[in-house]
Amino acid sequence: MPSIGVFDSGVGGLSVLAALRAELPHERFVYFADTAYAPYGERGDAYVIERSRKVTEQLIADHGIKALVVACNTATTAAIHLLRAEHPALPIVGLEPALKPAVATSRTGHISVMATRGTLASAKYAALRESFAGSATVRAVPCDGLVKAIEGLDTAAIAALCERYMVEAGPFGDAPGQVDTVVLGCTHYPLVKNELQRHAPPMLRFIDTGAPVAQQTRRVLASLGRLANDGEGELVLQGSGDLAVLEAAAAHWLQPRQQSTAVPAPTAV
**Which residues are known catalytic residues?**
72, 186
Q: Are 20 and 235 in contact (CB under 8 A)?
A: no
Q: Are 147 and 10 in contact (CB under 8 A)?
A: yes
Q: Are 146 and 170 in contact (CB under 8 A)?
A: no
The alpha carbon torsion through 115, 118, 120, 122 (nearest 10 deg) reads: -150
Q: Are 224 and 247 in contact (CB under 8 A)?
A: no
Would the annotation count 170 as a binding residue? Answer: no
- Give the C-alpha separation, 227 to 20, whole Å: 13
Would the annotation count 199 as a binding residue? Answer: no
3-state secondary structure of 260: strand
Would the annotation count 116 as a binding residue? Answer: no
Would the annotation count 56 as a binding residue? Answer: no
Name the nearest CA neighbour of 20 among 241, 242, 219, 264.
219
Around Cβ 216, how many Cβ atoms within 10 Å?
A: 17
3-state secondary structure of 8: strand
- Give the C-alpha separation, 14 to 72, whole Å: 10
Would the annotation count 174 as a binding residue? Answer: no
- Give the C-alpha separation, 16 to 269, whole Å: 23
Would the annotation count 37 as a binding residue? Answer: no
- State the Rg of the chain over Cα: 18
Would the annotation count 188 as a binding residue? Answer: yes
What is the DSSP code (8-state) at residue 12? Answer: T
CA angle 44, 13, 167 (to 5 degrees): 75
- Give the C-alpha separation, 256 to 250, whole Å: 9
Q: Which residues are annotated as a binding site?
A: 8-9, 40-41, 73-74, 187-188
Q: Which residues are annotated as a binding site for substrate?
A: 8-9, 40-41, 73-74, 187-188
